[in-house]
Amino acid sequence: MFGRVDAVQPPSLSSEQRSAASAKAVANRRRRAEVKAHLRSGHLSWQDLLALAHIDEVVAALRVQEALLCLPGVGPQRLHRFMKQANISPTRRLRGLGPHQIASLNEALAR
């Protein structure tokens, strides 16, 4: 009844394309690490991060959990409570947050 599904192969890339993709991935990881460092130091607020995510696709790809853990005063227990209250999946990225989830997180962070 259920047939075997053939695996889809990724497109074959030339060595130049692979190295360009690798360089882009490294640059994106560095950008996200820079943003997380600014969150940890307090130079960037949660609201600033959300605004930045609207204009910067690299920042928008940051996981909500990673961003929240970088905020001063948010540890694993508070993070779990915030994520549960706002009904946010652990794999959700900033670009995928809905207005109700953002409002719930804003309220929780204001306390």
> Cα 62–69–97 angle (5° rounding)?
45
Report pTM: 0.82
Q: What's the pLDDT at 110?
A: 87
Q: What's the pLDDT at 2?
A: 65
Report how far residue 64's alpha carbon sits from residue 85's, in angstroms, rounded to the nearest whole number.
Answer: 14
Q: Which amino acid is at 35?
A: V
CB 33 within 8 A of CB 40: no
- 1 band by pLDDT with thresholds 50, 70 and 90: low
Q: How does pLDDT run across 38-91, given as a tens digit for each residue?
A: 999 999 999 999 999 999 999 999 999 999 999 999 999 999 999 999 999 999
Domains of the chain listed by start with CATH number: 19-110 (1.10.8.50)
- Residue 61's Cβ-count burial label (10 Å; 0-12, 13-18, 19+) is middle
CB 59 within 8 A of CB 31: yes
Q: Which amino acid is at 49?
A: L
| pLDDT above 70: percentage of residues in the chain | 95
If you average pLDDT over every residue of the chain, what do you get?
92
Length of the chain: 111
